[in-house]
Amino acid sequence: MRISDEFEVDQSVDAVWAFFEKIPQVAACLPGTTLTGELGDDRYRGEVAIRMGPVRLQFDGVAQVVERDDATKRMVVDAQGAEQKGRGQATMSMSVRLVPQGAQRTTATIDMDLQLSGAAAQYGRGMVSDVTSVLIRQFAGTVQQRLGAIQRGEDPERAGVASPASGLAIGMQATKMALTRVFRRFFMPYQPGRV
C-alpha cells in the first residue's frame, strides 16, 4: 500500500538535510524503533515494535539507504523485516524529500510503499495509514526538538528520544482520525453536481 504524508520543521533545509544524513540520529526519532547495528555501506539492523489493536508486533530487520541526492535533498530507504514470533513480514521503500519554505522552514514529504503479510496484514489500509500518520507526527515533533537542541549547542540525545509506540495512544489517535473521516462523509452538506 502507498502512503504519503508531510510535515514541517522550523529549521533551514540544509540543517534538516544534515540531520537526515545521520541515520542513527533519525532512528532515535522514530517511535518504537531501536537501531541495533551498523552493517556498513549505509545498511543498518534494527527492531521496530508497534501495537495495532490488540496485537503487538515486533519486527527485526535491515534498512539500507539506496539513494541520496544532495542537490534535490532526496533520500530513499528500503527496509525489510520479519516479525519475531513468526507472525508476518514487512517490506518498505520510503522516499523523503526536503523543500525549503523560506530561510528557516522546511517541508519534509514522505512517500512510502509498505507491504505487510501475516498478522499486520489483517488491518485495513485506513487503519495502517492512520497509525502511520500518528507515528509520522510523533517523529516530526522529536526531529524538531533535536534540531532545536543542536542549534542551541545542546546535546541532542537529551532533547528528544522517541517514546515507545504506545498502542493505546496511537490507537486513540488513529480511531479519532477514522471517525473524523466517517463524520465528514455522512455530515458533509449536499452540493448539487457533486458525486
The reported pLDDT for the residue numbered 188 is: 52
Contact present, 94 and 67 (Cβ < 8 Å): no
pLDDT band at 184 (very low <50, low <70, confident <90, very high): low
pLDDT band at 181 (very low <50, low <70, confident <90, very high): very low
User: For residue 193, is it within any domain?
Assistant: no
pLDDT per residue over 25-77, tens digit each?
Answer: 888 888 888 999 999 999 999 998 877 666 677 889 999 999 999 999 999 99
What is the CB neighbour count within 10 angstroms for residue 182? 11
The reported pLDDT for the residue numbered 136 is: 81
For 69-98, b where at least 16 C-beta lie within 10 A, e where not — what string?
A: eeeebbbbbbbebebeeebbbbebbbbbbb
Query: Which set of grid coordinates corresponds to residue 171?
Result: 490507537
Q: DSSP letters along 44-78, please?
A: EEEEEEEEETTEEEEEEEEEEEEEEETTTTEEEEE
State which residues form the domain around 23: 2-187
Please choose, from the candidates 119, 122, 134, 123, the residue with its C-alpha nearest in 3D space to the C-alpha of residue 167: 134
User: For residue 124, is it within any domain?
Assistant: yes
Contact present, 76 and 93 (Cβ < 8 Å): yes
The reported pLDDT for the residue numbered 45 is: 96
Domain count, the chain: 1
- Measured CA to CA in angstroms, residue 37 lies from 22, 23, 24, 28, 43 at distances of 14, 11, 9, 13, 9
Q: What is the DSSP letter of 146?
A: H
The reported pLDDT for the residue numbered 189 is: 54
Query: Which set of grid coordinates corresponds to residue 7?
Result: 510535515
Q: Which CATH number fits the domain that encloses residue 169?
A: 3.30.530.20
Question: What is the distance in angstroms between the CA of the first residue and the CA of the last residue of the chain?
Answer: 25
The reported pLDDT for the residue numbered 170 is: 46
The reported pLDDT for the residue numbered 42 is: 94
User: For residue 118, is it within any domain?
Assistant: yes
